[in-house]
Amino acid sequence: MIERIEAAAVRGPVRFVVAGDSGAWPDPTADAIFSGLVRQIAALDPPPIFFANLGDFAGPGTLERHEHYLELVGALPVPDICVVGNHDLDDPAGIETFTRIHGLPNFTFACGHTRFVALHAQPGVVGQIDVPGQGTAEGTEGPRDEDLAFLERTLTHVDEPHRVVLMHMPPYLDGHYAPHPDWGFRQREAEFLELVRRHRVSLVCCAHGLAYDHHVMGGIHFLMSGGGGTGLCSHFQGICTAGAGRPEDRGALFHAVEITIAEDGATSGRVLQAFEPENRARIAFGRSD
């Protein structure tokens, strides 16, 4: 898949699609929703350069579940790449199976003017003291030391002016995901944020939270797309929110997100709601050109 992406002649904006949490466990309803999103992505004109699943797509991570996922995306006319999620590792052999089917969980590739880094960042917790909304006293764990070392090595030696990180779990971001602040990792968050700021990463794409959310912090776009089919969080503002609120800020809807990175690095996106027949997008961020 990476060879196909890097072989593509890309001039001008880089366009790609992300979604996550499409199959945390076997569920025919989730399959139907995700299959609908696959058809919508396949119908995009012009087509995106690739689709990235941001994790929890083959839970519990058995060979059978990975093969089932590959059948679901078989109709995609563009490359499909996969980021490992926590439910993809529920099976004792989960990491070995993921590596066998998709390759190493940390990897990188270039597309036109943009460098992409996929990072192993499935959640885990350490310690015994439970703190409501945080998981443990130490907070939720995300990327490990070796994952951050890979990220730094990669970003230190790239020429592309624009950089994007693809990972399953988002950082804590000052409790931004309340009432589920434990959706974001706190352990090594400071090190992660320092790395992406120093190396001029403009966009971090995540899933894990079962909703859509877009947040800019320190000039970096943090996008959460966890509405691929597994389920939706009832706490986040929904698509039918009444009044003058802004449900585009975060939304409980099944979706994928089409993202564009312009030549000058400007980042924009539009949310493709599941089963919208013409891929209209009421929810968007960034400039419209």
The dihedral sign for the CA sequence 211, 212, 217, 222: positive
What Cα–Cα distance (Å) separates residue 283 from each residue in 18, 34, 94, 107, 150?
15, 19, 35, 30, 34
Strands 51-53 and 14-19: parallel
- Residue 195 is assigned to a structural domain of this protein: yes
Contacts of 262 (CB under 8 A, 6+ apart): 13, 268, 289
> Cis bond leading into 46, ω under 30°?
yes
What Cα–Cα distance (Å) separates residue 234 from each residue in 231, 237, 276?
9, 8, 21
Task: Please tell me the predicted confidence (pLDDT) of residue 134.
Answer: 46
Distance of CA 223 to the CA centre of its chain: 7
Distance of CA 52 to the CA centre of its chain: 7
Alpha helices, H only, the chain? 2-7, 28-42, 63-72, 94-102, 145-156, 189-198
- Residue 65 is assigned to a structural domain of this protein: yes
CATH number of the domain residue 255 falls in: 3.60.21.10
Alpha helices, H only, 55-144? 63-72, 94-102
- Residue 84 is assigned to a structural domain of this protein: yes
> Cis bond leading into 132, ω under 30°?
no
Task: Please tell me the predicted confidence (pLDDT) of residue 128.
Answer: 35
pLDDT in single tens digits along all 289 residues of the chain:
999 999 887 888 999 999 999 999 999 999 999 999 999 999 999 999 999 999 999 999 999 999 999 999 999 999 999 999 999 999 999 999 999 999 999 999 999 999 999 999 978 643 333 444 445 445 688 999 999 999 999 999 999 999 999 999 999 999 999 888 989 999 999 999 999 999 999 999 999 999 999 999 999 999 999 999 999 988 876 655 555 555 545 678 899 999 999 999 999 999 999 999 888 888 889 865 4
Number of structural domains, the chain?
1
Q: Is 12 exposed, middle or buried (0-12, 13-18, 19+ CB in 10 A)?
A: exposed
Is 65:58 a contact under the CB 8 Å cutoff? yes
- Residue 285 is assigned to a structural domain of this protein: no
- Residue 249 is assigned to a structural domain of this protein: yes
- Residue 26 is assigned to a structural domain of this protein: yes
- Residue 271 is assigned to a structural domain of this protein: no
Task: Please tell me the predicted confidence (pLDDT) of residue 130.
Answer: 40
- Residue 286 is assigned to a structural domain of this protein: no
Q: Which domain holds residue 51?
A: 2-6+16-263
At residue 119, φ and ψ (nearest 5 deg) are -125, 135
252: nearest Cα among 15, 32, 21, 40: 21
Q: What is the DSSP letter of 47?
A: P
